[in-house]
Chain A
Amino acid sequence: MARSGPPLRLFQNWQAKLAATPMILTALVVFIGCSLWTVVYSFTNSRLLPRLEFVGLAQYERLWSTPRWQVSIENLAVYGVLSLILTLAIGFLLAVLLDQKIRFEDGFRTIILFPYALSFIVTGVVWQWILNPDFGLQHIVRGMGFSGFTFDPLNDPNLVILALLAAGIWQGAGLTTVILLAGLRGIDEDVWKAARVDGIPTWKTYIFIVLPMMKPVFATCVVLISAGIIKLYDLVVALTRGGPGIASEVPAKYVYDYMFGNQNLGQGFAASTMMLAAVLAIIIPFALFQLGRKRRV
């Protein structure tokens, strides 16, 4: 029944506050608290157990002088750039192809997107089998008469990144396609009518009129793909286990191995803090851009 006093601020819709406690705890304890904890402990010499003995930037110095970390960063950069470009290019091409009022659109889209429903572990294992030098692609092509043909990315340090790309794009390009297709469908029909009346060829309309109109959708895709690239871990574990040698190591795997395998927590914390810094470098400009756009509207 009715309250007898003035509604106190703290108790105003207390049920909502109570119901939102899990969200508040997640935001404060996990996302902020745990991240800060890791950043702080990255300046300590923790090994098997976390210890608050500060050693300044020693962990970072050691991190950047470790060949495995250098290779990891280099791999991530190469994989990241190629994967971003190829995913966007293939995604856009497929979206345009699907947008041509084709028959069986649902069928094609189902085929293109199904790998996205799979675990990276499944993807990695399948591509490991397809790229197996003794039974897979290389074996088949040799069997067709090209006995000198060599394509063994899983055992070639220079090509192993291609194996990761083939599998990664197989799994992820469908998502980009679907998002870009939604973006294409969101464009005003009248733009197409106007272009047709003006006699502009379809491909030109796509590149010079539609593409610039889809900037926000592309920005969303870039952020999603980038977030995925930085988290790249499961696929490497299942497909190459970082090999041959350390040729396909990535930062996320470095973090895991140092934290849980080599019992060198400080290194793991420093490496994960570097990953956080990289993400912030992508997210903050994007967030500011979005914020600025909202203000202007």
Chain B
Amino acid sequence: MAQALRAAPATELDGISVSIRDLSLSYGSVEVLGDLNLDVKDGEFLVLLGASGCGKSTLLNCIAGLQPATEGQIFISGQNVTWAEPSERGIGMVFQSYALYPQMTVEGNLSFGLKNARVPKDEIRRRVARAADTLQLEPLLKRKPAALSGGQRQRVAIGRALVRDVDVFLFDEPLSNLDAKLRAELRVELKRLHQNLGNTMIYVTHDQIEAMTLADRIAIMRGGKIQQLASPDDIYRRPANLYVAGFIGSPPMNLLPGRLEGNRFTGALTADVTGYDFTSRPRGPEVVLGIRPEHVRTGAAAEALPIRAEALVEVVEPMGADTLVWAQLGQTPFRVRMDGESRVRAGDRLSVGFDPASLSLFDAASETRL
């Protein structure tokens, strides 16, 4: 690398693969990314998750150098790469539409970047062979992309990043163009690849299953800002705010507005929340109580729990392994995920119950977790 890529103070970036400092991007008066800070550890699998238009792909493009940022800095492997060309950043990138060069063979696609970097021929051959071996592409090397299936094309796209021998892999919704079955297969393959290679990977997706299954940490983005950066388990169990609570989980968390006085919640149901792990006390009495449909117990199991109520069943959706129940708790809609064996019908009265430890409380005004 050129000397121009100034090394940062070594201690500060120790063990950090990609570091984003105060990054912002705006088009005129429209702010796409606002004051973003993010450190990705060496070998970490980080997923940027969010609805479309949240800025996750833009952030990835900034890291890749395909989109110049308005303010801030980007460090990759200890080098300040804020002004560096994409090819100089030590990254490989995989795109949703594969972006394979249609007139080149698989081999040509894999070696194009290396040829541009004037890597010696023997070295190119060695690296292509290694990537082909890792991704089982050997029989396809002489084919053109048009003669490949969707899954094969995506493997070639990954291979193109692989041959570059880089520290950081960037994935831009790489599985979104595939059908459900293939997506599940390639997901596992990606996870295996990460375990074997140990590279840093930054992965953009709008699919929460992909995020939950692949990530070491997930960054949930909205409006160009990171809402929560935590492990999948934390994000699922301890959502940082109402947006994250509503975004993660399918069906999403039940959110019941109400008042909290002491440890007593009143709203669509009355509950004593003693046992809930408060991180802060609410500023006002208005709060929102959240409980995941799968954490609600029913019938006899509900009787033993500290919080109980009775719900009126409206619609039942049997899904095989489990059954989704759409009910009313007073006037508030309430979803319950039940065992596939349970027999409920519309119009039934269902006694429900849950544990204070499994619920989430949010301040109604600031929408943040208590």
Contacts and interface: CB of A to CB of B under 8 A. Distances in A.
Direct contact of A and B (CB under 8 A): yes
Listed residue (A1, A2, A4) with the most chain B CB atoms within 10 angstroms of its CB: A2
Contacts of B321: none
B5 interface: yes
A6 B2 contact: no
A115 B289 CA distance: 76
Interface string B1-12: 111110000000
B32 interface: no
Interface in A1-39: 1-4, 6-7
Nearest to B68: A7
Given A1-B2, A2-B2, A2-B5, A7 B88 contact: no
B22 interface: no
B84 interface: yes
Nearest to A1: B2
B112 interface: no
Interface residues of A, number: 6
A8 to B, nearest CB: 11
B159 to A, nearest CB: 26
Interface in B253-285: none
Interface in B85-132: 85, 88
B4 A1 contact: yes
B292 to A, nearest CB: 42
B82 to A, nearest CB: 9
Nearest to A3: B83
B5 to A, nearest CB: 6
Nearest to A7: B83
A1 B83 contact: no
Contacts of A4: 2-4
Contacts of B3: 4
Interface in B227-266: none
A1 B1 CA distance: 8
A9 to B, nearest CB: 12
Contacts of B1: 2
A4 B2 CA distance: 9
A2 B1 CA distance: 8
B178 to A, nearest CB: 30
Contacts of B84: 2
Contacts of B85: 2
Nearest to B6: A4
A3 B5 CA distance: 9
Contacts of B68: 7
Contacts of A7: 68, 83
Nearest to B3: A4
A2 B89 CA distance: 10
A172 B5 CA distance: 61
Contacts of B4: 1-4
B244 to A, nearest CB: 35
A5 to B, nearest CB: 8
Nearest to A4: B4
Interface in B54-104: 68, 83-85, 88
A155 B2 CA distance: 81
B4 to A, nearest CB: 4
Contacts of A6: 83
Contacts of B88: 1-2
A2 to B, nearest CB: 4
Nearest to B85: A2
B276 to A, nearest CB: 51
Interface in A143-194: none
A6 B88 CA distance: 16
A1 B5 CA distance: 10
Interface string A236-273: 00000000000000000000000000000000000000
Contacts of A1: 2, 4, 88
A18 to B, nearest CB: 18
A6 B80 CA distance: 13
19 contacts: A1-B2, A1-B4, A1-B88, A2-B1, A2-B2, A2-B4, A2-B5, A2-B83, A2-B84, A2-B85, A2-B88, A3-B4, A3-B83, A4-B2, A4-B3, A4-B4, A6-B83, A7-B68, A7-B83
Given A1-B2, A2-B4, 6 more contacts: A1-B88, A2-B83, A2-B88, A4-B2, A4-B3, A7-B83
Kindly list the 9 A-B residue pairs having the minimum CB-CB distance in the complex, ordered from nearest.
A1-B2, A4-B4, A2-B4, A2-B2, A2-B84, A2-B88, A2-B5, A3-B83, A7-B83
Interface of B: 1-5, 68, 83-85, 88
